[in-house]
Amino acid sequence: MTTDYELMTMQLREFAKEESDFLPLLSNASALIMASMDRLNWAGFYLIKDGALILGPFQGKPACIRIAVGRGVCGTAFDKDETLRVENVHEFKGHIACDSASNSEIVIPLHHDGKLVGVMDIDSPELSRFSIEDQKGLEAFAAVLDEMADYSSYV
């Protein structure tokens, strides 16, 4: 199945128009990812709080609650403020294995008012699951969150 990123991003925009608070919006964003893409085992968010990335809305197995900036794929993507597309997580130094089924991963930093606020993390049991086209589609999806998500209720 190829993912219809245009449709997925449009649906996210509709959710955001109705309610921009980060909690319902990121919850529905993780559900949209899981419903729209195949060969995934985890999709969700980590948000920065008191200097660490804290688990946010997600779909998948229970995951690590706290990730230090600079640690694992999520902490490294946040630290560098760049998308990380990891073909084989077992070869990524410091990878944090929350779900042993994960073999590849993509992590995209999230921003609000030009400031880094967290990351979107998507895991797959398949090696090299995420192509450059997936990266582009998911970055466009994340851009809707950058533009529309409201984090003011996050303390």
Which residues sit at the interface with ligand SME, rule CB under 6 A? Answer: 42, 63-64, 67, 72-74, 95-96, 98, 102, 105, 121, 123
- DSSP secondary-structure letter at 99? S
Q: Is 16 or 98 the residue whose CB approaches ligand SME more closely?
A: 98
Whole-angstrom Cα distance, residue 76 to residue 136? 19
Nearest-approach distance from CB 153 to ligand SME, in angstroms: 23
Rounded CA-CA distance 10/126 in Å is 27
- Nearest distance, CB of residue 17 and ligand SME, angstroms: 29
Tokens coding 145 = 């969150």
Distance in Å, CB of 84 to ligand SME, minimum: 9
**Complex with ligand SME: residue 11 or 104, whichever CB lies closer:** 104
Residue 120, CB-side half-sphere exposure with 13 Å CA sphere: 26
- For the CB of residue 47, give the shortest distance to ligand SME in the complex, in Å: 13
In this complex, which beta carbon is closest to ligand SME, that of residue 58 or of residue 141? 58
42 strand-pairing partners = 60, 123
Cβ–Cβ < 8 Å for 88, 129: no
Query: Which residue's CB comes closest to ligand SME?
Result: 72
